[in-house]
Amino acid sequence: MGKGEEACGGRERAGTLADAFEAVVGAMYLDSDLQTVREFILQSAADEIEKMKLEPVDVNRRDAPEILQSFSPLGPVYSIVSEAGPEHQKTFISKVEWNGIELGRGSGRSKKESETDAASNALEQKLWVQPEMPASE
């Protein structure tokens, strides 16, 4: 890892860590067999698997507002509202809109991260849910 990447928090960046883990798993597979790799992955992820058993995550936050398509042909639209900071440490602000309604905003160190945060915000607010209209008499 270069000095610049390390100085910008590269050792804690989720994408960097995921890439490194994937490389280790790939090397293990090439050097051993599927069963060995399977056991390593299950052991490495044991804590996270237990957490998911207690509190399942059945929705990908970035794609979650796609449920809107179940009652409208239009899906949500994500857009970047602003970006700030130096090139190597930008913060992005994005929003998610649907049928002219802003459902949520989010921020992150990448466009994708800010869109995911906006989707999470939209899920919390549920602005697409319309109050029940009383039946006409």
Same structural domain, 49 and 70:
no
Is 72 in the same domain as 117? yes
114 CB-near residues (< 8 Å, 6+ apart):
80, 91, 92, 93, 94, 106, 107, 108
Residue 102 and residue 68 share a domain: yes
Main-chain phi, psi angles of 20, to 5 degrees: -65, -45
- Domain hosting residue 8, numbered range: 3-54
* φ, ψ dihedrals at 13, nearest 5°: -70, 125
Which of 11 and 20 is assigned the larger pLDDT?
Answer: 20
Same domain, 71 and 47: no
CA–CA gap between residue 25 and residue 8 (Å, rounded): 26
- Structural domains of the chain, count: 2
The string of pLDDT tens digits covering residues 71-122 is 667 778 899 999 999 888 899 999 999 888 898 999 999 998 999 899 888 8
Q: Report pLDDT for 101.
A: 87
Residues 68 and 116 in one domain: yes
Whether 34 and 77 share a structural domain: no
- pLDDT of 62 > 60? The answer is no
> Whole-angstrom Cα distance, residue 128 to residue 75?
12
For residue 68, what pLDDT band results from cuts at 50, 70 and 90?
low
Q: Are residues 82 and 117 in the same domain?
A: yes
pLDDT (mean) for 3-9: 78
Q: Specify the CATH number for the domain of residue 84.
A: 3.30.160.20
Question: Rounded distance, CA 124 to CA 106, Å?
Answer: 12
Ramachandran angles phi, psi of 135, nearest 5°? -65, 140
Residue 84 lies in a domain: yes
Spatial separation of the C-alpha atoms in residues 114 and 9, rounded to whole Å:
18
Domain assignment of residue 132, yes or no: no
Which of 18, 35, 54 is the endpoint of a domain?
54
Tokens matching residue 66 = 């796609």
pLDDT exceeds cutoff 50 at 137: no
